Structure 1
Amino acid sequence: MSGPAATAARFRGWPLTLTLAAVTGLSVGPFYWLVVGSTHKDTEIFDWPPHLLPGGSLGENLDHLQAKIGLGRVLVNSLAIAGLQTAGALVVALLAGYAFAKFRFRGRTVLFALLLSTLVVPEQVMLVPLFKMMMSFRLLDSYQAVVLPGLCVPFAIFLMRQALGSMPDELLDAARVDGAGELRVLWSVVVPVMRPVLAALAIFLFLGSWNQFVWPLIALRSPEMHTLPVAIATLHGSRTTTDHGAILAGTALSTLPMMVLFLALQRQFISGLLAGATKG
Protein backbone atom coordinates (compact mmCIF):
# COMPACT_ATOMS: atom_id res chain seq x y z
CA MET A 1 0.00 0.00 0.00
CA SER A 2 1.44 3.38 -1.03
CA GLY A 3 0.40 6.93 -1.64
CA PRO A 4 -2.32 8.78 0.30
CA ALA A 5 -3.77 5.56 1.74
CA ALA A 6 -0.43 4.57 3.32
CA THR A 7 0.05 8.08 4.72
CA ALA A 8 -3.44 8.05 6.22
CA ALA A 9 -2.82 4.62 7.81
CA ARG A 10 0.41 5.86 9.41
CA PHE A 11 -1.33 8.93 10.85
CA ARG A 12 -4.13 6.78 12.28
CA GLY A 13 -1.52 4.86 14.31
CA TRP A 14 0.00 7.98 15.89
CA PRO A 15 -2.60 8.46 18.68
CA LEU A 16 -2.06 4.90 19.92
CA THR A 17 1.72 5.30 19.72
CA LEU A 18 1.65 8.59 21.65
CA THR A 19 -0.69 7.11 24.27
CA LEU A 20 1.59 4.10 24.81
CA ALA A 21 4.62 6.40 25.01
CA ALA A 22 2.91 8.58 27.63
CA VAL A 23 1.85 5.57 29.73
CA THR A 24 5.37 4.13 29.51
CA GLY A 25 6.85 7.46 30.58
CA LEU A 26 4.51 7.69 33.57
CA SER A 27 5.42 4.15 34.59
CA VAL A 28 9.19 4.31 34.09
CA GLY A 29 9.67 7.99 35.03
CA PRO A 30 9.46 7.64 38.85
CA PHE A 31 11.77 4.62 38.83
CA TYR A 32 14.27 6.46 36.64
CA TRP A 33 14.20 9.46 38.98
CA LEU A 34 14.71 7.12 41.93
CA VAL A 35 17.85 5.64 40.35
CA VAL A 36 19.19 9.03 39.29
CA GLY A 37 18.41 10.60 42.68
CA SER A 38 20.30 7.81 44.46
CA THR A 39 23.49 8.90 42.68
CA HIS A 40 23.32 12.53 43.87
CA LYS A 41 24.09 14.18 47.19
CA ASP A 42 21.30 15.04 49.56
CA THR A 43 21.67 18.74 48.80
CA GLU A 44 21.35 18.14 45.04
CA ILE A 45 18.22 16.01 44.97
CA PHE A 46 15.73 18.89 45.19
CA ASP A 47 17.59 21.27 42.86
CA TRP A 48 15.58 23.01 40.14
CA PRO A 49 15.74 22.19 37.32
CA PRO A 50 16.11 18.59 38.49
CA HIS A 51 19.14 16.50 37.57
CA LEU A 52 18.20 14.08 34.80
CA LEU A 53 21.59 12.41 34.49
CA PRO A 54 23.32 10.20 37.09
CA GLY A 55 25.74 11.88 39.49
CA GLY A 56 28.80 10.56 41.24
CA SER A 57 27.63 10.19 44.83
CA LEU A 58 26.19 6.65 44.80
CA GLY A 59 29.15 5.24 46.70
CA GLU A 60 28.91 8.01 49.30
CA ASN A 61 25.18 7.39 49.78
CA LEU A 62 25.77 3.66 50.20
CA ASP A 63 28.51 4.41 52.76
CA HIS A 64 26.06 6.57 54.71
CA LEU A 65 23.51 3.78 54.48
CA GLN A 66 26.00 1.25 55.80
CA ALA A 67 26.99 3.51 58.68
CA LYS A 68 23.41 4.25 59.74
CA ILE A 69 21.56 0.95 59.33
CA GLY A 70 24.21 -1.70 58.64
CA LEU A 71 23.29 -2.27 55.00
CA GLY A 72 24.85 -5.73 54.68
CA ARG A 73 23.14 -7.04 57.81
CA VAL A 74 19.64 -5.82 56.90
CA LEU A 75 20.02 -7.19 53.36
CA VAL A 76 20.86 -10.60 54.78
CA ASN A 77 17.86 -10.36 57.11
CA SER A 78 15.52 -9.46 54.26
CA LEU A 79 16.85 -12.16 51.93
CA ALA A 80 16.71 -14.83 54.64
CA ILE A 81 13.15 -13.96 55.70
CA ALA A 82 11.81 -13.58 52.15
CA GLY A 83 13.57 -16.73 50.94
CA LEU A 84 12.44 -18.92 53.84
CA GLN A 85 8.91 -17.57 53.74
CA THR A 86 8.60 -18.01 49.97
CA ALA A 87 9.95 -21.58 50.01
CA GLY A 88 7.76 -22.57 52.96
CA ALA A 89 4.63 -20.97 51.49
CA LEU A 90 5.21 -22.76 48.17
CA VAL A 91 5.46 -26.13 49.92
CA VAL A 92 2.32 -25.49 51.99
CA ALA A 93 0.39 -24.22 48.95
CA LEU A 94 1.45 -27.21 46.85
CA LEU A 95 0.51 -29.77 49.51
CA ALA A 96 -2.78 -28.10 50.46
CA GLY A 97 -3.74 -27.39 46.85
CA TYR A 98 -2.99 -31.01 45.91
CA ALA A 99 -5.13 -32.30 48.77
CA PHE A 100 -8.08 -30.02 47.95
CA ALA A 101 -7.89 -30.76 44.21
CA LYS A 102 -7.21 -34.50 44.09
CA PHE A 103 -8.55 -36.05 47.30
CA ARG A 104 -12.13 -36.58 48.41
CA PHE A 105 -12.61 -36.34 52.18
CA ARG A 106 -15.35 -35.31 54.56
CA GLY A 107 -15.55 -31.57 55.13
CA ARG A 108 -13.38 -30.66 52.12
CA THR A 109 -15.84 -28.08 50.77
CA VAL A 110 -16.36 -26.49 54.19
CA LEU A 111 -12.63 -26.28 54.87
CA PHE A 112 -11.97 -24.71 51.49
CA ALA A 113 -14.78 -22.20 52.03
CA LEU A 114 -13.33 -21.27 55.41
CA LEU A 115 -9.91 -20.85 53.80
CA LEU A 116 -11.32 -18.52 51.14
CA SER A 117 -13.21 -16.52 53.76
CA THR A 118 -9.90 -15.46 55.31
CA LEU A 119 -9.11 -13.53 52.12
CA VAL A 120 -11.57 -10.82 53.13
CA VAL A 121 -10.06 -10.38 56.62
CA PRO A 122 -7.82 -7.27 56.72
CA GLU A 123 -4.25 -7.95 57.73
CA GLN A 124 -4.39 -5.20 60.37
CA VAL A 125 -7.11 -7.09 62.26
CA MET A 126 -4.70 -9.97 62.87
CA LEU A 127 -1.82 -7.90 64.22
CA VAL A 128 -2.83 -7.89 67.90
CA PRO A 129 -3.67 -11.63 68.23
CA LEU A 130 -0.60 -12.48 66.16
CA PHE A 131 1.60 -10.37 68.43
CA LYS A 132 0.17 -12.05 71.55
CA MET A 133 0.71 -15.47 69.99
CA MET A 134 4.34 -14.79 69.11
CA MET A 135 4.92 -13.28 72.56
CA SER A 136 3.49 -16.36 74.28
CA PHE A 137 5.74 -18.58 72.15
CA ARG A 138 8.71 -16.31 72.94
CA LEU A 139 9.48 -15.88 69.25
CA LEU A 140 9.49 -12.07 69.07
CA ASP A 141 12.61 -10.48 67.60
CA SER A 142 13.50 -13.58 65.59
CA TYR A 143 13.19 -14.83 62.02
CA GLN A 144 10.49 -17.27 63.14
CA ALA A 145 8.21 -14.43 64.25
CA VAL A 146 8.08 -13.07 60.70
CA VAL A 147 8.40 -16.27 58.67
CA LEU A 148 5.85 -18.52 60.40
CA PRO A 149 2.73 -16.30 59.92
CA GLY A 150 3.46 -16.12 56.19
CA LEU A 151 3.70 -19.85 55.53
CA CYS A 152 -0.04 -20.32 54.98
CA VAL A 153 -1.16 -17.95 52.20
CA PRO A 154 -4.83 -18.53 51.29
CA PHE A 155 -4.45 -17.00 47.82
CA ALA A 156 -1.50 -19.29 47.04
CA ILE A 157 -3.45 -22.38 48.16
CA PHE A 158 -6.44 -21.28 46.07
CA LEU A 159 -4.24 -20.73 43.01
CA MET A 160 -2.58 -24.15 43.35
CA ARG A 161 -5.93 -25.86 43.89
CA GLN A 162 -7.35 -24.29 40.72
CA ALA A 163 -4.25 -25.16 38.68
CA LEU A 164 -4.13 -28.76 39.93
CA GLY A 165 -7.86 -29.17 39.33
CA SER A 166 -7.22 -29.05 35.58
CA MET A 167 -4.49 -31.70 35.74
CA PRO A 168 -5.69 -35.10 34.36
CA ASP A 169 -6.12 -37.75 37.05
CA GLU A 170 -4.85 -40.36 34.57
CA LEU A 171 -1.30 -39.04 34.96
CA LEU A 172 -1.44 -39.53 38.72
CA ASP A 173 -3.11 -42.94 38.45
CA ALA A 174 -0.43 -44.15 36.03
CA ALA A 175 2.30 -43.24 38.51
CA ARG A 176 0.42 -44.96 41.35
CA VAL A 177 0.02 -48.12 39.26
CA ASP A 178 3.79 -48.14 38.80
CA GLY A 179 4.14 -48.27 42.58
CA ALA A 180 4.84 -44.62 43.36
CA GLY A 181 3.68 -43.23 46.69
CA GLU A 182 1.89 -39.91 47.01
CA LEU A 183 5.05 -37.94 47.77
CA ARG A 184 6.76 -39.56 44.78
CA VAL A 185 3.77 -38.72 42.58
CA LEU A 186 3.84 -35.16 43.87
CA TRP A 187 7.56 -34.70 43.21
CA SER A 188 7.91 -36.62 39.92
CA VAL A 189 4.60 -35.82 38.23
CA VAL A 190 2.90 -32.80 39.78
CA VAL A 191 5.90 -30.50 40.32
CA PRO A 192 7.25 -30.72 36.71
CA VAL A 193 3.79 -30.02 35.27
CA MET A 194 3.11 -27.18 37.72
CA ARG A 195 6.55 -25.56 37.37
CA PRO A 196 5.28 -22.45 35.48
CA VAL A 197 2.54 -21.90 38.07
CA LEU A 198 5.01 -22.39 40.92
CA ALA A 199 7.43 -19.90 39.34
CA ALA A 200 4.71 -17.25 38.95
CA LEU A 201 3.54 -17.88 42.50
CA ALA A 202 7.12 -17.68 43.82
CA ILE A 203 7.51 -14.18 42.36
CA PHE A 204 4.27 -12.96 43.96
CA LEU A 205 5.14 -14.51 47.32
CA PHE A 206 8.69 -13.18 47.33
CA LEU A 207 7.49 -9.70 46.38
CA GLY A 208 4.93 -9.68 49.19
CA SER A 209 7.43 -10.93 51.75
CA TRP A 210 10.25 -8.63 50.62
CA ASN A 211 8.04 -5.51 50.80
CA GLN A 212 6.37 -6.46 54.09
CA PHE A 213 6.65 -3.60 56.54
CA VAL A 214 4.04 -3.42 59.32
CA TRP A 215 4.46 -6.87 60.85
CA PRO A 216 8.30 -6.90 60.75
CA LEU A 217 8.23 -3.43 62.32
CA ILE A 218 6.17 -4.82 65.22
CA ALA A 219 7.82 -8.22 65.60
CA LEU A 220 11.49 -7.27 65.13
CA ARG A 221 12.49 -4.97 67.96
CA SER A 222 16.30 -4.84 67.82
CA PRO A 223 18.00 -2.95 64.93
CA GLU A 224 20.16 -6.02 64.23
CA MET A 225 17.05 -7.95 63.14
CA HIS A 226 15.47 -5.24 60.99
CA THR A 227 14.63 -5.92 57.36
CA LEU A 228 15.55 -3.43 54.64
CA PRO A 229 12.13 -1.66 54.43
CA VAL A 230 12.03 -1.26 58.23
CA ALA A 231 15.64 -0.07 58.38
CA ILE A 232 15.06 2.52 55.65
CA ALA A 233 11.98 3.81 57.50
CA THR A 234 14.11 4.45 60.59
CA LEU A 235 16.14 7.00 58.60
CA HIS A 236 13.18 9.38 58.60
CA GLY A 237 13.44 11.71 61.53
CA SER A 238 16.66 10.17 62.83
CA ARG A 239 18.40 13.51 62.22
CA THR A 240 17.36 17.13 61.97
CA THR A 241 17.94 16.87 58.23
CA THR A 242 16.89 13.58 56.66
CA ASP A 243 19.50 12.07 54.36
CA HIS A 244 17.35 11.65 51.26
CA GLY A 245 20.30 10.46 49.18
CA ALA A 246 20.80 7.47 51.48
CA ILE A 247 17.07 6.73 51.51
CA LEU A 248 16.86 6.80 47.71
CA ALA A 249 19.95 4.60 47.42
CA GLY A 250 18.45 2.05 49.83
CA THR A 251 15.10 2.11 48.04
CA ALA A 252 16.76 1.61 44.64
CA LEU A 253 18.84 -1.21 46.08
CA SER A 254 15.72 -2.90 47.43
CA THR A 255 14.40 -3.34 43.88
CA LEU A 256 17.39 -5.39 42.70
CA PRO A 257 16.42 -8.79 44.18
CA MET A 258 12.97 -8.59 42.58
CA MET A 259 14.46 -7.69 39.20
CA VAL A 260 16.94 -10.57 39.41
CA LEU A 261 14.21 -13.02 40.45
CA PHE A 262 11.89 -11.90 37.66
CA LEU A 263 14.62 -12.14 35.02
CA ALA A 264 15.59 -15.61 36.26
CA LEU A 265 11.97 -16.87 36.19
CA GLN A 266 10.66 -14.75 33.33
CA ARG A 267 9.77 -17.57 30.95
CA GLN A 268 8.09 -19.67 33.61
CA PHE A 269 6.31 -16.60 34.98
CA ILE A 270 4.74 -15.72 31.60
CA SER A 271 3.87 -19.37 30.98
CA GLY A 272 2.19 -19.56 34.36
CA LEU A 273 0.11 -16.44 33.74
CA LEU A 274 -0.97 -17.70 30.29
CA ALA A 275 -1.62 -21.30 31.39
CA GLY A 276 -5.30 -20.75 31.86
CA ALA A 277 -5.70 -18.80 28.61
CA THR A 278 -4.15 -21.48 26.41
CA LYS A 279 -6.42 -24.35 27.49
CA GLY A 280 -9.01 -25.28 24.95
Structure 2
Amino acid sequence: MKQSKTAQRISFIILAVVCLVWILPLIWAVFTSFKSQNEIASSGFHLLPKEWTLSNYTTLLNNSEASPVFQWFTNSLIISTTFMVLTVFVTAFAAYGFTRLEWPGRDFIFSILLGSMMFPTVINLIPNFKIISSLGWSNTFLAVIIPGVAGVYNLFLVRQFMKAIPLGLDESAMIDGANEFQIFWYIILPLIKPVLLVVALFSFTNSWNDFLWPSIVMSDVSQMPITPGLQLLQGQYQTFPGLATAGAILALLPTFLLYLVAQKYFMQSMSLQSGMK
Protein backbone atom coordinates (compact mmCIF):
# COMPACT_ATOMS: atom_id res chain seq x y z
CA MET A 1 0.00 0.00 0.00
CA LYS A 2 2.85 2.38 0.90
CA GLN A 3 4.62 1.54 -2.36
CA SER A 4 1.41 2.23 -4.27
CA LYS A 5 0.97 5.67 -2.65
CA THR A 6 4.64 6.49 -3.22
CA ALA A 7 4.33 5.57 -6.91
CA GLN A 8 1.23 7.74 -7.22
CA ARG A 9 2.99 10.70 -5.66
CA ILE A 10 6.01 10.30 -7.92
CA SER A 11 3.74 10.02 -10.97
CA PHE A 12 1.86 13.14 -9.89
CA ILE A 13 5.08 15.12 -9.46
CA ILE A 14 6.37 14.04 -12.89
CA LEU A 15 3.06 14.90 -14.58
CA ALA A 16 2.93 18.26 -12.79
CA VAL A 17 6.43 19.13 -13.99
CA VAL A 18 5.60 18.10 -17.57
CA CYS A 19 2.39 20.16 -17.51
CA LEU A 20 4.29 23.14 -16.13
CA VAL A 21 6.92 22.90 -18.87
CA TRP A 22 4.17 22.83 -21.51
CA ILE A 23 1.89 25.51 -20.14
CA LEU A 24 4.36 28.06 -18.72
CA PRO A 25 5.36 29.51 -22.14
CA LEU A 26 1.68 29.82 -23.05
CA ILE A 27 0.89 31.61 -19.79
CA TRP A 28 3.87 33.93 -20.34
CA ALA A 29 2.68 34.74 -23.87
CA VAL A 30 -0.85 35.53 -22.69
CA PHE A 31 0.34 37.93 -19.97
CA THR A 32 2.98 39.49 -22.22
CA SER A 33 0.34 40.35 -24.81
CA PHE A 34 -1.32 42.59 -22.19
CA LYS A 35 1.88 44.45 -21.27
CA SER A 36 3.00 47.76 -22.70
CA GLN A 37 6.20 48.00 -24.70
CA ASN A 38 7.91 50.00 -21.96
CA GLU A 39 7.10 47.38 -19.35
CA ILE A 40 8.36 44.53 -21.58
CA ALA A 41 11.59 46.42 -22.27
CA SER A 42 12.18 47.13 -18.59
CA SER A 43 14.67 44.99 -16.73
CA GLY A 44 13.56 42.11 -14.59
CA PHE A 45 11.09 39.28 -15.09
CA HIS A 46 7.46 39.94 -14.16
CA LEU A 47 4.88 37.37 -15.14
CA LEU A 48 1.82 39.49 -14.44
CA PRO A 49 1.48 42.91 -16.08
CA LYS A 50 1.84 45.87 -13.76
CA GLU A 51 -0.66 47.75 -15.89
CA TRP A 52 -3.02 45.79 -18.12
CA THR A 53 -3.46 47.20 -21.62
CA LEU A 54 -5.11 46.21 -24.90
CA SER A 55 -2.80 48.43 -26.96
CA ASN A 56 -1.02 45.47 -28.54
CA TYR A 57 -4.29 44.02 -29.85
CA THR A 58 -5.69 47.34 -31.04
CA THR A 59 -2.43 48.27 -32.79
CA LEU A 60 -2.23 44.88 -34.45
CA LEU A 61 -5.82 44.89 -35.70
CA ASN A 62 -5.74 48.52 -36.84
CA ASN A 63 -2.54 48.07 -38.87
CA SER A 64 -4.31 46.04 -41.56
CA GLU A 65 -2.10 47.19 -44.44
CA ALA A 66 1.20 45.83 -43.10
CA SER A 67 -0.29 42.90 -41.21
CA PRO A 68 -3.87 42.00 -42.22
CA VAL A 69 -4.43 39.75 -39.22
CA PHE A 70 -8.21 39.71 -39.59
CA GLN A 71 -7.87 38.67 -43.25
CA TRP A 72 -5.42 35.92 -42.30
CA PHE A 73 -7.82 34.79 -39.59
CA THR A 74 -10.70 34.65 -42.07
CA ASN A 75 -8.57 32.77 -44.60
CA SER A 76 -7.61 30.17 -42.01
CA LEU A 77 -11.21 29.75 -40.95
CA ILE A 78 -12.35 29.15 -44.54
CA ILE A 79 -9.45 26.82 -45.31
CA SER A 80 -9.70 24.77 -42.12
CA THR A 81 -13.49 24.40 -42.23
CA THR A 82 -13.47 23.37 -45.89
CA PHE A 83 -10.57 21.00 -45.28
CA MET A 84 -12.38 19.42 -42.32
CA VAL A 85 -15.63 18.83 -44.23
CA LEU A 86 -13.89 17.39 -47.30
CA THR A 87 -11.64 15.18 -45.19
CA VAL A 88 -14.58 13.70 -43.29
CA PHE A 89 -16.54 12.86 -46.45
CA VAL A 90 -13.58 11.56 -48.44
CA THR A 91 -12.36 9.45 -45.52
CA ALA A 92 -15.82 8.03 -44.81
CA PHE A 93 -16.43 7.04 -48.45
CA ALA A 94 -12.93 5.58 -48.86
CA ALA A 95 -13.17 3.60 -45.63
CA TYR A 96 -16.50 2.17 -46.76
CA GLY A 97 -14.91 1.06 -50.03
CA PHE A 98 -11.98 -0.58 -48.25
CA THR A 99 -14.18 -2.26 -45.65
CA ARG A 100 -17.60 -3.19 -47.03
CA LEU A 101 -17.01 -3.55 -50.77
CA GLU A 102 -15.28 -6.50 -52.45
CA TRP A 103 -13.00 -5.64 -55.35
CA PRO A 104 -9.72 -7.06 -56.73
CA GLY A 105 -6.58 -5.89 -54.96
CA ARG A 106 -8.41 -4.12 -52.16
CA ASP A 107 -6.25 -5.37 -49.28
CA PHE A 108 -3.04 -5.10 -51.31
CA ILE A 109 -3.68 -1.45 -52.19
CA PHE A 110 -4.56 -0.66 -48.59
CA SER A 111 -1.30 -2.29 -47.48
CA ILE A 112 0.59 -0.03 -49.88
CA LEU A 113 -1.20 3.00 -48.44
CA LEU A 114 -0.24 1.94 -44.93
CA GLY A 115 3.34 1.46 -46.06
CA SER A 116 3.42 5.03 -47.32
CA MET A 117 3.00 6.18 -43.71
CA MET A 118 6.52 4.94 -43.01
CA PHE A 119 8.02 7.70 -45.17
CA PRO A 120 8.46 11.26 -43.83
CA THR A 121 5.92 13.69 -45.22
CA VAL A 122 8.59 16.17 -46.29
CA ILE A 123 9.51 13.97 -49.26
CA ASN A 124 6.16 14.92 -50.81
CA LEU A 125 6.79 18.65 -50.68
CA ILE A 126 8.55 18.97 -54.04
CA PRO A 127 6.18 16.65 -56.00
CA ASN A 128 3.15 18.34 -54.47
CA PHE A 129 4.54 21.78 -55.25
CA LYS A 130 5.16 20.78 -58.88
CA ILE A 131 1.60 19.45 -59.19
CA ILE A 132 0.09 22.54 -57.57
CA SER A 133 2.12 24.82 -59.85
CA SER A 134 1.15 22.91 -62.99
CA LEU A 135 -2.52 23.17 -62.04
CA GLY A 136 -2.20 26.91 -61.47
CA TRP A 137 -3.30 26.65 -57.83
CA SER A 138 -0.43 28.61 -56.29
CA ASN A 139 -1.65 31.39 -53.97
CA THR A 140 -5.14 29.87 -53.87
CA PHE A 141 -7.01 28.08 -51.10
CA LEU A 142 -7.08 24.90 -53.20
CA ALA A 143 -3.31 24.61 -52.81
CA VAL A 144 -3.58 24.14 -49.04
CA ILE A 145 -6.85 22.19 -48.99
CA ILE A 146 -6.72 19.47 -51.65
CA PRO A 147 -3.28 17.81 -51.06
CA GLY A 148 -4.02 16.74 -47.49
CA VAL A 149 -7.66 15.72 -47.78
CA ALA A 150 -7.00 11.99 -48.30
CA GLY A 151 -4.94 11.27 -45.19
CA VAL A 152 -3.93 7.63 -44.73
CA TYR A 153 -4.04 7.82 -40.93
CA ASN A 154 -7.65 9.03 -40.99
CA LEU A 155 -8.52 6.27 -43.45
CA PHE A 156 -6.94 3.64 -41.21
CA LEU A 157 -8.74 4.99 -38.15
CA VAL A 158 -12.20 5.00 -39.75
CA ARG A 159 -11.64 1.63 -41.46
CA GLN A 160 -10.75 -0.06 -38.18
CA PHE A 161 -13.79 1.47 -36.56
CA MET A 162 -16.05 0.42 -39.42
CA LYS A 163 -14.81 -3.17 -39.33
CA ALA A 164 -16.43 -3.55 -35.89
CA ILE A 165 -19.89 -3.01 -37.41
CA PRO A 166 -21.51 -6.40 -38.26
CA LEU A 167 -21.91 -7.20 -41.94
CA GLY A 168 -25.35 -8.53 -41.14
CA LEU A 169 -26.66 -4.97 -41.16
CA ASP A 170 -25.61 -4.59 -44.78
CA GLU A 171 -27.19 -7.91 -45.76
CA SER A 172 -30.46 -7.06 -44.03
CA ALA A 173 -30.60 -3.72 -45.81
CA MET A 174 -29.92 -5.39 -49.18
CA ILE A 175 -32.77 -7.81 -48.58
CA ASP A 176 -35.02 -4.80 -47.99
CA GLY A 177 -33.93 -3.38 -51.35
CA ALA A 178 -31.33 -0.81 -50.28
CA ASN A 179 -28.44 -0.04 -52.63
CA GLU A 180 -24.82 0.55 -51.59
CA PHE A 181 -25.21 4.30 -51.19
CA GLN A 182 -28.33 3.93 -49.07
CA ILE A 183 -26.55 1.39 -46.86
CA PHE A 184 -23.65 3.77 -46.39
CA TRP A 185 -25.74 6.89 -45.83
CA TYR A 186 -28.54 5.57 -43.63
CA ILE A 187 -26.86 2.70 -41.76
CA ILE A 188 -23.07 2.96 -41.69
CA LEU A 189 -22.65 6.74 -41.51
CA PRO A 190 -24.76 7.22 -38.35
CA LEU A 191 -22.83 4.42 -36.62
CA ILE A 192 -19.40 5.88 -37.35
CA LYS A 193 -20.19 9.40 -36.16
CA PRO A 194 -17.93 9.08 -33.07
CA VAL A 195 -14.79 8.35 -35.09
CA LEU A 196 -15.74 10.92 -37.74
CA LEU A 197 -15.86 13.50 -34.97
CA VAL A 198 -12.28 12.59 -34.07
CA VAL A 199 -11.27 12.95 -37.73
CA ALA A 200 -13.05 16.31 -37.94
CA LEU A 201 -11.34 17.71 -34.84
CA PHE A 202 -7.90 16.49 -35.88
CA SER A 203 -8.38 17.74 -39.44
CA PHE A 204 -9.44 21.22 -38.39
CA THR A 205 -6.63 21.54 -35.85
CA ASN A 206 -3.94 20.22 -38.20
CA SER A 207 -5.08 22.49 -41.01
CA TRP A 208 -5.24 25.54 -38.75
CA ASN A 209 -1.78 24.89 -37.26
CA ASP A 210 -0.06 23.92 -40.52
CA PHE A 211 2.84 26.22 -41.23
CA LEU A 212 5.33 24.63 -43.64
CA TRP A 213 3.10 23.83 -46.62
CA PRO A 214 1.17 27.17 -46.67
CA SER A 215 4.50 28.98 -46.42
CA ILE A 216 5.67 27.19 -49.57
CA VAL A 217 2.61 27.65 -51.79
CA MET A 218 1.44 31.03 -50.48
CA SER A 219 3.38 34.19 -51.33
CA ASP A 220 0.40 36.55 -51.64
CA VAL A 221 0.00 38.21 -48.23
CA SER A 222 -3.75 38.68 -48.67
CA GLN A 223 -4.27 34.95 -49.32
CA MET A 224 -2.15 33.64 -46.45
CA PRO A 225 -3.61 31.77 -43.50
CA ILE A 226 -2.75 32.84 -40.00
CA THR A 227 0.28 30.58 -39.39
CA PRO A 228 2.61 31.92 -42.13
CA GLY A 229 1.21 35.33 -41.30
CA LEU A 230 2.63 34.98 -37.80
CA GLN A 231 6.05 34.52 -39.35
CA LEU A 232 5.64 37.88 -41.08
CA LEU A 233 4.56 39.43 -37.79
CA GLN A 234 7.69 38.12 -36.14
CA GLY A 235 9.80 39.83 -38.79
CA GLN A 236 7.87 43.10 -38.65
CA TYR A 237 7.63 43.32 -34.87
CA GLN A 238 10.79 41.54 -33.75
CA THR A 239 11.54 44.48 -31.47
CA PHE A 240 7.93 44.54 -30.23
CA PRO A 241 7.30 41.16 -28.56
CA GLY A 242 3.96 42.33 -27.20
CA LEU A 243 2.54 42.69 -30.71
CA ALA A 244 3.95 39.33 -31.81
CA THR A 245 2.53 37.50 -28.80
CA ALA A 246 -0.84 39.21 -29.31
CA GLY A 247 -0.92 37.79 -32.84
CA ALA A 248 -0.04 34.35 -31.52
CA ILE A 249 -2.85 34.48 -28.96
CA LEU A 250 -5.36 35.50 -31.63
CA ALA A 251 -4.24 32.53 -33.73
CA LEU A 252 -4.67 30.23 -30.75
CA LEU A 253 -8.25 31.23 -29.91
CA PRO A 254 -10.21 29.10 -32.47
CA THR A 255 -8.55 25.80 -31.58
CA PHE A 256 -8.81 26.61 -27.87
CA LEU A 257 -12.52 27.39 -28.13
CA LEU A 258 -13.06 24.29 -30.27
CA TYR A 259 -11.48 22.17 -27.57
CA LEU A 260 -13.62 23.74 -24.84
CA VAL A 261 -16.81 23.09 -26.81
CA ALA A 262 -15.98 19.59 -28.07
CA GLN A 263 -13.80 18.11 -25.33
CA LYS A 264 -16.66 16.00 -23.92
CA TYR A 265 -17.48 14.48 -27.29
CA PHE A 266 -13.80 14.18 -28.15
CA MET A 267 -13.00 12.11 -25.05
CA GLN A 268 -16.02 9.90 -25.69
CA SER A 269 -14.99 9.43 -29.31
CA MET A 270 -11.45 8.42 -28.43
CA SER A 271 -12.81 5.22 -26.88
CA LEU A 272 -13.53 4.19 -30.50
CA GLN A 273 -16.63 2.21 -29.63
CA SER A 274 -19.05 1.78 -32.50
CA GLY A 275 -22.04 2.27 -30.24
CA MET A 276 -23.62 -1.06 -31.16
CA LYS A 277 -26.09 -2.32 -28.60
Q: TM-score category by the smaller chain?
A: 0.7 to 0.9
Query: Counterparts of 2:208 and 2:266 in 1: how far apart (Å)?
Result: 18
Change beyond 3 A, Cα 1:187–1:21: same
Contact 2:57 2:246 in 1 (8 A): yes
Change beyond 3 A, Cα 1:137–1:49: same
Q: What's the CA shift for 1:70?
A: 1.1
Q: Deviations over 1:71-101 (max 9, x none)?
A: 1110010011111111111111111111111
Matched, 1:50 2:45: yes
Other structure's SS at 1:174 match: helix
Trace 1:27-176 onto structure 2 (pairs within 5 A): 27-45=22-40, 47-54=42-49, 55-57=51-53, 59-66=54-61, 67=63, 68-176=66-174
Matched-pair identity in %: 28
Q: What's the CA shift for 1:163?
A: 0.8
Q: Deviations over 1:116-147 (max 9, x none)?
A: 12212322221222111111111111111111
Q: What's the CA shift for 1:18?
A: 3.9
Q: Deviations over 1:131-172 (max 9, x none)?
A: 111111111111111111011111111111111111111222
**From 251, 267, 271, the counterpart of 1:274:** 271
Contact 1:36 1:53 in 2 (8 A): yes
Contact 1:197 1:268 in 2 (8 A): no
Query: Counterparts of 1:46 and 1:278 in 2: how far apart (Å)?
Result: 56
Query: Counterparts of 2:223 and 2:128 in 1: how far apart (Å)?
Result: 18
Which residue type is aligned with residue 242 of structure 2?
Answer: G
Query: Counterparts of 2:40 and 2:173 in 1: how far apart (Å)?
Result: 62
Query: Counterparts of 2:35 and 2:108 in 1: how far apart (Å)?
Result: 57
Contact 2:164 2:274 in 1 (8 A): no
Change beyond 3 A, Cα 1:9–1:174: closer
Query: Counterparts of 2:7 and 2:103 in 1: how far apart (Å)?
Result: 59
Q: What's the CA shift for 1:277?
A: 11
Alignment-derived partner of residue 242 in structure 1 = 239
**TM-score computed with the length of structure 1 as normaliser:** 0.87
Query: Counterparts of 2:91 and 2:7 in 1: how far apart (Å)?
Result: 48
Query: Counterparts of 2:142 and 2:267 in 1: how far apart (Å)?
Result: 32
Contact 2:218 2:224 in 1 (8 A): yes
Which residue type is aligned with residue 271 of structure 2?
Answer: L
Change beyond 3 A, Cα 1:214–1:11: closer
Unaligned residue ranges in structure 2 (runs of 5+): none
Query: Counterparts of 1:213 and 1:113 in 2: how far apart (Å)?
Result: 29
Which residue type is aligned with residue 31 of structure 1?
Answer: L
Alignment-derived partner of residue 185 in structure 1 = 183
**From 21, 43, 46, the counterpart of 1:26:** 21
**TM-score computed with the length of structure 2 as normaliser:** 0.88
Contact 2:117 2:152 in 1 (8 A): yes
Unaligned residue ranges in structure 1 (runs of 5+): none
Contact 1:235 1:242 in 2 (8 A): no
